[in-house]
Amino acid sequence: MAIALFDLDHTLLQGDSDPLWGDLLFARHKVTQQDYQKPKDRFYQDYLTGSLDINAFLQFCAQTLSRLSTTELTQLGEEFRDTMIRPRLSTAAIKQVYWHKDQGHLLAIVTTTNEFLANWSLQCLPIDHLIASPLQPTAAFPAAFRDGKRVRFLSFCREQQRLPSERTWFYSDSHNDLPLLNFVSDPVAVNPDQRLNSIANQCGWPVLDWS
């Protein structure tokens, strides 16, 4: 059985879940411009330039979530899923997910987004497995960022009793995902950033527009 891996933000999703979550929190008066929006924007710019300190970012996410009650997290999570995620899922992406599902492939989302947020997106998709960043990464369980995605994929293969050498597609938009894109048999650039688009063209990888 082959494997199909999908990045979440700007690949399956027409947008980025972390900023969208922040927009919802701000709209519901759970955070302020000063204590959340400005730091969030700095982290996002660092991600785009490839200079993100992933551990600092996840600590920031964890601190924000810790200020909300269990009831608030559930209510906001459901609203996030239904109003911010579901309407932004790419029709072309969903079609490709179902193609792989019809082939009997093993499907997983592989995303740098933290597990709490990514799980709400998973609920909208016909995908069974999620590889996301823990809010408190460890050496054994690192963030799914850069080479951490490749490391976590290898762990996933062991858990599923699969060989990482099996045919595997990975769909992604970001140059930050090059370690895993270079590792799998079938890398696919989707809505790629400038650097990934250049590398994909040099390597002869498929380049898709799911916007």
Note down pLDDT in tens along the chain; length 211 residues: 899 999 999 999 999 999 999 999 999 999 998 888 889 889 989 988 889 999 999 999 999 999 999 999 999 999 999 999 999 999 999 999 999 999 999 999 999 999 999 999 999 999 999 999 999 999 889 999 999 999 999 999 999 999 888 899 999 999 999 999 999 999 999 999 999 999 999 999 999 999 9
Q: How far apart are CA 44 and CA 82, in angstroms?
A: 23
Alpha helices (H) in 28-88, listed in sequence order: 38-49, 54-66, 70-79
17-86: CATH number: 1.20.1440
Q: How far apart are CA 142 and CA 137, in angstroms?
A: 5
pLDDT of residue 55: 94
Segments making up each domain of the chain, as ranges: 3-15+89-208, 17-86
pLDDT of residue 92: 98
pLDDT of residue 115: 98
Name the residues annotated as catalytic. Answer: 7, 9
Q: How far apart are CA 7 and CA 68, in angstroms?
A: 27
Q: Considering the entire predicted model, what is its pTM?
A: 0.95
Q: Reading across the β-sheet that carries 207-208, which strands appear in turn?
A: 129-133, 106-114, 3-6, 168-172, 186-190, 207-208
3-15+89-208: CATH number: 3.40.50.1000
pLDDT of residue 40: 86
